[in-house]
Amino acid sequence: MTIAWKDYPFTSGHDELLTPECQPRAGAEGLHRYLTGLGLAELQARQRAAEETILNLGITFTVYSQGDNIDRAWPFDIIPRLIPLAEWEMVERGLIQRLTALNLFIGDIYGAQRIIREGVFPAEVLAMSRNFRTQCVGIEPAFGVWAHVCGSDLIRDRDGRILVLEDNLRVPSGVSYMLENRLITKRVFPELFGTQRILPVDDYPARLYDTLAALAPEGRDPPRVVVLTPGIYNSAYFEHVYLAQRMGLELVEGRDLVVGEEDRVFMKTISGLQQVDVIYRRVDDLFIDPEVFVADSMLGVPGLMRAWRSGRVALVNAPGAGVADDKVVYAHVPEMIRFYLGEEPILSNVTTWKCLLDEDRRYVLEHLDQLVVKPANESGGYGMMIGPMASNAERAEMAERIKADPRNYIAQPMISLSTVPTLTENGVLEPRHVDLRPFILQGKQSAVTAGGLTRVALRKGSLVVNSSQGGGSKDTWIVATED
């Protein structure tokens, strides 16, 4: 069965493989020829092989919404998403610029608050922030970096422009699936990696380790670095195990650590206590230290904040970094870039209305049928309302929520996300909407993954790409265009 590209059912948006004339875009010529030569029957067979590999390797994620902790096989589509290298180099610069400004903002907010005093950032946004931690005021982490690992979500609009949808700076997840997606794609399409100039992604664990190790206090060489997990019931536990194994680090829970003399942190081992220098923590702020935050937390380490404040241990990401992981704060990032760096933003935000502002709120309430409304601090697609697809009752309920707590909501236009050909359950290629989460590392040096985690809305017409909401993923290829 051949692939009839002329019958490809284009949507009204931007397709990343094909032009409206059904011709491959720059950089996609080789993949287009290859898929055409394989045909649909062989693609279906390779999709089945990929799914069997995922089951055999135990690549899973956890869904809580069913009432139980249900582990699901990672949903994966074998048709990769391509981005030309020349375009990606611009994106990479923009992401580093963005995270640099965000880290300066976080440091300023816990320090002199110059951006507020000079009227660039509203004081009321900070005053009502759920993620501002007074316990972090006055701290100056190594290299001035608070968010060492950031996952910024990017989209491409109908005109082909890449925009930033949001920034994730608390405990961003998904990088393990990016790495596994590449391994699976190499198994099902080994021929392509001999003919395509595809940038590698498998150096991420080494780069992450270098970022972590450079933060070790007192210059101990080699430093002891551990990964702190909430445990097996966390939805990202697969990733915690995966990264610890790939970096050759101990995976620990709060009960495995203790703060001892001189505020030093130690790991309990069968050989006795061993000092820990850096903790890559995948536990939320409020649960990391019961002496400071949630008193009955069983996930954290008593005294850990004290050890961090005294400079005896480095925490990644730093507590308090979540003050910038807020969709209302996101709307101010372009101003942050201008204020701290004296530069124009390389990457643009999506147009955003802040319901905290009277004029913005009136506009949102009058146009709920046209907008996407999001809570400021939720993730995974939870609490979001897509106005054009919502019922009158759902829009009325959202209006009441906005009126009751305007600081907690922003709105954006409904953007027709770009599409990539995807093999459907019926075994045919159809466009499905995608976004992209690249991962940015910042510490002594900065680095960006070559691409990132492409998430795909597997349901026809859906714009929700989150795996918890029925989405899947694709491998992302940064490719040098053919000569």
pLDDT tens-digit profile of 303-314?
999 999 999 999
Pair of tokens at residue 443: 């510490």
Rounded to 10°, the helix 175-188/237-247 angle is 80
Q: How far is CA 13 from CA 127, 415, 444, in A?
A: 39, 9, 40
- Binned at pLDDT 50, 70 and 90, residue 210 comes out as very high
pLDDT of residue 352: 97
pLDDT of residue 462: 83
User: How far is 173 from 256, CA to CA, in rounded Å?
Assistant: 23
Of the listed ranges 124-133, 148-157, 235-244, 459-468, the least confidently predicted one is: 459-468
Residue 63 has pLDDT above 70, yes or no: no
Rounded to 10°, the helix 392-404/358-366 angle is 170
Q: Please, are residues 456 and 432 in contact by the beta-carbon 8 Å criterion?
A: yes
Pair of tokens at residue 346: 């390389």
> 82-114 burial, b if ≥16 CB within 10 A, otherwise e?
bbbbeebeebbebbbbbbbbbbbbbbbbbeeee
Residue 125 has pLDDT above 90, yes or no: yes
pLDDT of residue 168: 94
Residue 64 has pLDDT above 70, yes or no: no
Q: What is the dihedral of CA 381, 382, 383, 388, to 10 degrees?
A: 40
Cβ atoms within 10 A of the Cβ of 396, count? 11
Helix (H) or strand (E) holding 247: helix 237-247
pLDDT in tens, 231-282: 998 888 999 999 999 999 999 999 999 999 999 999 999 999 999 999 999 9
pLDDT of residue 248: 97
Residue 138 has pLDDT above 60, yes or no: yes
pLDDT of residue 383: 83
**Tokens 């062989």 appear where?**
42
Question: Across residues 455-466, what is the average pLDDT?
Answer: 86
- Binned at pLDDT 50, 70 and 90, residue 466 comes out as confident
- Binned at pLDDT 50, 70 and 90, residue 468 comes out as low
- Binned at pLDDT 50, 70 and 90, residue 380 comes out as low
- Binned at pLDDT 50, 70 and 90, residue 1 comes out as low
- Binned at pLDDT 50, 70 and 90, residue 71 comes out as low
Beta sheet of 409-413, edge-to-edge order = 353-354, 409-413, 371-375, 385-386
Q: Write out the E strands in 108-261.
A: 149-156, 162-168, 225-228, 250-252, 257-259
Give the domains, in start order, of the chain with CATH numbers: 5-84+419-479 (no CATH), 86-164+202-341 (3.40.50.11290), 351-413 (3.30.1490.270)
User: How far is 339 from 378, CA to CA, in rounded Å?
Assistant: 27
pLDDT of residue 482: 55
User: How far is 251 from 230, CA to CA, in rounded Å?
Assistant: 10
Cβ atoms within 10 A of the Cβ of 241, count? 16
Question: Across residues 195-203, what is the average pLDDT?
Answer: 92
Where is pLDDT greater, at 98 or 38?
98
Q: Please, are residues 111 and 98 in contact by the beta-carbon 8 Å criterion?
A: no
> Looking only at Cα atoms, what is the longest distance across the chain?
71
Question: Across residues 461-474, what is the average pLDDT?
Answer: 80
Classify strands 409-413 and 60-63 as parallel, antiparallel or unpaired.
Answer: unpaired
Using a CB cutoff of 8 Å and minimum separation of 24, what contacts does 43-50 make?
43/3, 43/78, 43/79, 43/423, 43/429, 44/423, 44/427, 46/78, 46/188, 46/189, 47/77, 47/78, 47/188, 47/423, 49/187, 49/188, 50/76, 50/78, 50/184, 50/185, 50/187, 50/188
User: How far is 146 from 170, CA to CA, in rounded Å?
Assistant: 10
Where is pLDDT greater, at 390 or 377?
390
Q: What is the mean pLDDT of the chain?
A: 92
Closest Cα to residue 253, out of 275, 220, 226? Answer: 226
**Tokens 């997840």 appear where?**
173
Distance of CA 32 to the CA centre of its chain: 29
Ramachandran angles phi, psi of 166, nearest 5°: -170, 165
Closest Cα to residue 332, out of 166, 126, 121? Answer: 121
User: How far is 344 from 361, CA to CA, in rounded Å?
Assistant: 28
User: How far is 16 from 11, CA to CA, in rounded Å?
Assistant: 12
Q: Please, are residues 78 and 422 in contact by the beta-carbon 8 Å criterion?
A: no
pLDDT in tens, 387-413: 999 999 999 999 999 999 999 999 999
Where is pLDDT greater, at 246 or 67?
246
User: What residues form DSSP beta bridges with 372?
Assistant: 386, 412
User: How far is 179 from 417, CA to CA, in rounded Å?
Assistant: 24
Q: Please, are residues 468 and 63 in contact by the beta-carbon 8 Å criterion?
A: yes
- Binned at pLDDT 50, 70 and 90, residue 174 comes out as very high
Classify strands 429-437 and 453-456 as parallel, antiparallel or unpaired.
Answer: antiparallel
User: How far is 168 from 438, CA to CA, in rounded Å?
Assistant: 11
Where is pLDDT greater, at 471 or 352?
352
**Tokens 């709120």 appear where?**
361
Ramachandran angles phi, psi of 314, nearest 5°: -100, 140
